[in-house]
Amino acid sequence: MKNIITLFLTLTFFNGFAQSDYFWIGGTGNFSDTTHWATTSGGTILQTQVPTSLDNVYFDANSFDAAGQTVTLDNNDLMCKNIDFSAVTNSPTFNGNSNTLSVYGSIDLVETMSINAISFKLEATTAGHTLTSAGHTLGGLTFNGIGGEWTLQDELTSSSTFDLKHGSVITNSYTLNINSFSSENSNVRTLTLGASIINLGTSGNWNVRTTNNFTLNSGTSTINLINGRFYQGESNINNGWDLTYYNVSFSPTGDNKAQLYTYNGGGRGTYNNLTSTKGLERWGGGGEVIVLNDFSCHGPYLGYWGGLIDVGGTATFGDSATFDALFTASTINFDGVGATYLLSASNTMTANSMNIAGGNCGAFTTIRSRSAGSQATVSVTSGAIAVDYVNLKDINATGGASFSATNAINGGNNAGWTISALSASDLYWIGSDGSWSDGNNWSLSSGGTPVGCAPTSLDNVYFDANSFDAAG
């Protein structure tokens, strides 16, 4: 008799933790209301408690008897195993009420429903789970199951943060439109991107500053940022946790610049291509940036406290640039007409070939050392680098290439250049009211035609009877 009682109690205990299927009935209601959960589809036998982490919940043809009915997630403590809307009819609304549903399995939504203000915390601890968002905009997504694995079944849109705390996410090459991405912890986690395009929000950041135990399978993916920061990771390369991305692109708006954070001297981020459509600021404590193909910055570039940047293809700077560390590339292009390039005096800039866009008489291209009086060195293997209308100071040109500057202003302490100095001119003001820098206000003779060039440090300027046509 004692054994029978023990067996009965044991079966009763485990039955209390058995998986159950919950079927929504009765149309509009709160998720926590047990009068809406039946044991079968359209059934009359009700569940006696709210769904647990073991229970599957279903919304189907017997859940809603009219269009426009709503299920409300009425608190933050609700959960289920799998949540399945795949057989639902009458286009219901799932109102998250700004709460979070913990899901210990898969999520299956459909296009013919509506979603409002709901976040999901995915807590599965086994592989083989899926996420189907069916074109809906979700709130926050937190992947938190130790050992869990989730595979996207379609394009994903989230108005908040995609937070990978534990487990493995496989994007299945689908596009992600998310406000920001975070995996800022040292838990075991994996992100497999395939050919996904990840679009971050206007101020959304990519934050994987701590890379320990993080595996990134970047595939041929592209990560697109606007005004947010890209934290590439700072763990020491010697521990094997440095990350390899594929394409990363910034498209800042207004006067904003892209922001790349490389952090400590032992960190490294590797990229296939790295691009900014405008300016870029590289911040860090010496972390390395390795670009296997091309690096391009179409606005001002500014390096702060950085480490090596090594570009396997072409590095293009479309505007002024300030370099703070060792910079190497197969080809370096300085494309900014009239731009200013400030080179590090303590680090050699190295390339196989180099192209420098000259300025014009109204806007000289300037190349000089960041440290006045201390030479910065440029070493180019081959080719002829010829620059017109350039202001040179403290630049040592070396390597097998030839360097020449015409119509140049020689600021001194240059080496390795053939410099043809700009001739001094006498310029006469003819502009009455006007801007000094406007070359159309200057002439080579008193009252003459515009020369189109503003004065340089070599020129004499004159104001005479033909400079102004009226008092004041």
pLDDT tens digit sequence for 201-238: 999 999 998 888 999 999 999 999 999 999 987 766 66
What pLDDT score does 264 carry?
Answer: 67
Token pair, residue 82, equals 């799998």
What pLDDT score does 6 carry?
Answer: 40
When pLDDT is cut at 50, 70 and 90, the band that residue 306 belongs to is: confident
When pLDDT is cut at 50, 70 and 90, the band that residue 62 belongs to is: very high
List, in order, residues 6 or more apart from 472 with CB less than 8 Å away: none
What pLDDT score does 9 carry?
Answer: 36
pLDDT exceeds cutoff 90 at 268:
no
Nearest to 212 by CA among 192, 233, 191: 233
- Region 317-332: mean pLDDT is 96
When pLDDT is cut at 50, 70 and 90, the band that residue 73 belongs to is: very high
The number of angstroms, rounded, from the C-alpha of 29 to the middle of its chain's C-alpha atoms is 41
- Region 53-72: mean pLDDT is 97
pLDDT exceeds cutoff 60 at 2:
no
What pLDDT score does 144 carry?
Answer: 98
pLDDT tens digit sequence for 74-92: 999 999 999 999 999 999 9
Better-predicted residue by pLDDT, 396 or 265: 396
pLDDT exceeds cutoff 80 at 271:
yes
Nearest to 195 by CA among 160, 155, 162: 155
Answer for the pair 108, 82: CB distance below 8 angstroms, yes or no: yes
pLDDT tens digit sequence for 407-418: 999 999 999 999
Answer for the pair 280, 260: CB distance below 8 angstroms, yes or no: yes
pLDDT tens digit sequence for 15-41: 445 899 999 999 999 999 999 999 999
Residues of the chain above pLDDT 90, percent: 83
List, in order, residues 6 or more apart from 2 with CB less than 8 Å away: none
- Region 151-155: mean pLDDT is 98
Residues of the chain above pLDDT 70, percent: 94
pLDDT exceeds cutoff 50 at 10:
no
pTM for this prediction? 0.91
Pairing label, strands 197-200, 222-225? parallel
Nearest to 91 by CA among 65, 117, 56, 73: 65
pLDDT exceeds cutoff 70 at 13:
no
**First-residue to last-residue Cα distance in the chain:** 117
When pLDDT is cut at 50, 70 and 90, the band that residue 240 belongs to is: low
- Region 284-289: mean pLDDT is 81
What pLDDT score does 362 carry?
Answer: 82
Mean of pLDDT over the chain: 93
In this structure, of 15-19, 148-152, 322-326, the range with the lowest mean pLDDT score is: 15-19
List, in order, residues 6 or more apart from 469 with CB less than 8 Å away: 432
Beta-ladder partners of 382: none
Task: Give the strand order in the sheet containing 426-429.
Answer: 442-443, 426-429, 460-462
pLDDT tens digit sequence for 190-201: 999 999 999 999
- Region 67-78: mean pLDDT is 97
What pLDDT score does 375 carry?
Answer: 98
